[in-house]
Structure 1
């Protein structure tokens, strides 16, 4: 940190990637399971994971151009969109503006600020919000916690956000589900979307992968939400198949799209999307 790595020698990023490989190999051992997974995977959505910090993390000279470059390339390729919050506030505003410019909507993720700031950001995002969620684990990001006041949200606080969003016709997402206590919170809040994530291995949390967490908790989570999303280490069509078999309805991909953009522009983003779709 900064950059695209994570704490503890990136151990959770490594686990995210390696466990998808293991689940994919296991899936390939059964032709019937493979066929079933392919059928499910055809309806699994691929969405850009929220990313900010173009100067700190991606290598851009300026912050603002990155958001339009990435959002536009993903939109043209057919990737569903996602944008995130950051410090300073302009990072979220740049993302919102980029989504407006391409004439689309996105899943918008807000950091767990004090409630009044969350509701302020909901108003900023409302014109482009296909979904809106709280990034509950981001208070553990080393590059943020010393800059702004973030909170560990209670179920009652999340229920208030859900009520506000649903009153505006926007589905509510809880992002950052990765602990046993998070599962208990989901049972109380019953969000529209549960998003399993360890921030791509970038937060200080328990050791483990999102793939393994999905396998262990998929049934109970799906019983308490409408959609089940996952990110972290998804790089290939075989990973998408594994995610579909384990119960995910959407997968989110971040760093690979950013690196594809830097490497080969819109063409690189389109090629990656085709790879993820098995085309």
Structure 2
């Protein structure tokens, strides 16, 4: 894996948000990593509550299929991770995921080449595995620009999603025009996509109301890994509180944020998620030990070698 620069990830023994405080850009989050830390702690808190309620055994007996896990949609490999060039990141990241048997998520960013490098990496893997596709998550640009991006993803995309929360993301603020999407704008987007549609960034009560209004194929509970200014809290507690209600208005639930162990994945699945998305631990393994190291980390988490 080509890189001559120092990676920004501290590769902490436990990725709990304590080693990258204030690093945005970088691997950290806003507000001294408050929600990053809460995301990490949230899954354990749910299991502690389950132990008191007598449901912990049900959580820990929940089966896991590797296909229920995906790598997170990540861009900004230079400023956030420390790669020498943006394009050096995507193929190793997706190759490791593909070799480990988990799904892919392609992210969006500024400049536009960040999206295109991710799409190109998937296309390279399709030469080996023609049926391979990815979920592609686009920033909430004005719809006309979104339609251009959707067209660019043709042949790669199995799911199109919008980061509805990232109009407020610190790393893109004042760089591009992003907007808070309305139900009417989302309806227009859905008419233009021929694949399932996801809303990513469900984390507040008003987001629940948006899901009720638009009834997406996928509602993705996320606070962007603690990287956006939003209410204080964890994705785990939000999933537990609103998962059952959300499932009435969408086809399936996805979740990310602080997932580090097999038990965390089982907890997310128990509370209604069908897909669990992970990024930081996989990136840490990739930058420290290459593709093989990331494959090993994925296997360790899914098979249960890494538990509480």
* Pairwise TM-score range, normalised by the shorter structure: over 0.9
Is the 2:285–2:293 contact (alpha carbons within 8 Å) kept by the matching residues of 1? yes
* CA 213–35 in structure 1, closer or farther in 2 if over 3 Å, else same: closer
**Displacement of 1:30 after TM fit?**
7.4
User: Residue 59 of structure 1: which of 48, 63, 82 is its match?
Assistant: 82
* CA 237–80 in structure 1, closer or farther in 2 if over 3 Å, else same: same
**Displacement of 1:102 after TM fit?**
0.7
**Displacement of 1:276 after TM fit?**
2.3
Q: Give distance in 2, aligned partners of 1:195 and 1:206.
A: 17
**Displacement of 1:122 after TM fit?**
0.4
Q: Where do 5+ consecutive residues of structure 2 fail to align? A: 1-23, 127-131
Is the 1:112–1:150 contact (alpha carbons within 8 Å) kept by the matching residues of 2? yes
Q: Give distance in 2, aligned partners of 1:40 and 1:244.
A: 9
Q: Where do 5+ consecutive residues of structure 1 fail to align? A: none
Q: Give distance in 2, aligned partners of 1:56 and 1:186.
A: 33
Is the 2:66–2:101 contact (alpha carbons within 8 Å) kept by the matching residues of 1? no
Q: Give distance in 2, aligned partners of 1:70 and 1:31.
A: 39
Greater RCO, 1 or 2 (C-alpha within 8 Å, sep 6+): 1
* CA 19–61 in structure 1, closer or farther in 2 if over 3 Å, else same: same
Q: Over aligned residue pairs, what C-alpha RMSD do you find?
A: 1.6
Higher helix fraction: Structure 1 or Structure 2?
Answer: 1
Q: Give distance in 2, aligned partners of 1:109 and 1:226.
A: 17
- Does 182-191 or 35-44 show the bigger shift? 35-44
**Displacement of 1:81 after TM fit?**
0.3
The 5 A counterparts of 1:233-248 are: 233-248=258-273
* CA 30–277 in structure 1, closer or farther in 2 if over 3 Å, else same: farther
**Displacement of 1:23 after TM fit?**
1.7
> Are 2:99 and 1:76 equivalent residues in the alignment?
yes
> Are 2:297 and 1:269 equivalent residues in the alignment?
no
The 5 A counterparts of 1:1-279 are: 1-27=24-50, 33-35=56-58, 38-42=61-65, 45-103=68-126, 104-165=132-193, 168=194, 170-279=195-304
Q: Give TM-score scaled by structure 1 length.
A: 0.94
**Displacement of 1:270 after TM fit?**
1.6
Q: Give distance in 2, aligned partners of 1:255 and 1:267.
A: 16
**Displacement of 1:113 after TM fit?**
0.4
**Displacement of 1:99 after TM fit?**
0.5
